Amino acid sequence: MPNIKSQIKRVKTNEKARNRNAHFKTMVRTQIKKVRLAITAKDVELAKTEFNKAVSLLDKAAQRGVFHPNKAAHHKSALARDINALNA
């Protein structure tokens, strides 16, 4: 534990940010799993609605710095590719 007052404050702030980031990552992962389940069930309509929610969460995560923007783009394109494969 640090002795310096500003460092004590930073530890508290970093813990809050870590918890917030972990919560956001969990939400994103859960939403991606929902899209994957809809894809494996071959339910195109459900997959599209869940995909839209996942895209929103991924964009927010990238904007807030939880994920790198390229990681968010990678997930979005992979999910879109799989949904488009269902339509074909």
Per-residue model confidence as pLDDT tens digits over 9-38: 999 999 999 999 999 999 999 999 999 999
Q: CATH fold of 5-87, please?
A: Methane Monooxygenase Hydroxylase; Chain G, domain 1 (1.20.58)
Residues 33-56 pLDDT 10s: 999 999 999 999 999 999 999 999
Nearest-angstrom CA–CA distance, 52 and 60: 12
With b meaning 16 or more CB within 10 Å and e meaning fewer, what string describes 57-77?
A: bbeebbeeebbeeeebeebbe
Taking a C-beta distance cutoff of 8 angstroms, is the pair 82, 39 a contact? yes
Per-residue tokens: 65? 């710095």
The helix (run of H) or strand (run of E) holding residue 81 is helix 69-87
- Which residue type is seen at 84? N
Q: Is the pLDDT of residue 88 over 80?
A: no
pTM: 0.87
